[in-house]
Amino acid sequence: MLSGQLARGEEGQKFEEEVAAFADRRYWVVMSSGTAALHLALLVLDVGESGEVLLPSYVCTALIHAIRATGGWLIVADKDRRTRNLAGGDACPAV
């Protein structure tokens, strides 16, 4: 934090390398926020202007912001009252 660099720069790179070694992974990427991480994940999944993402009707706004940042379309489906997951009947027509 003293360097003034939150996620980039020399300290960020050093942290990425240390976590990758600890987790026994070749690479590790530090993101500045959860929204940025979700945005990157959607880009990796190739969600672009024609991409559609199905979400339950009640989610945090970071998901919506990440989808819109890719140019993707948000498709809202209702959730099952018991499980709080996407309701199968609502999700199938949306797909």
Tens of pLDDT along 27-48?
888 888 889 999 999 999 988 8
Choice between 25 and 91, residue whose per-residue pLDDT is larger: 25
Q: Which two tokens stand for residue 20?
A: 């990758």
Domain boundaries, the chain: 1-30, 34-94
Q: Are 89 and 59 in contact (CB under 8 A)?
A: no
Residue 82 predicted with pLDDT over 70: yes
Interior angle at CA 38, CA 95 and CA 87, nearest 5? 35
Confidence of residue 78 (pLDDT cuts 50, 70, 90): confident
| Average pLDDT value for residue range 64-92 | 79
Confidence of residue 7 (pLDDT cuts 50, 70, 90): low
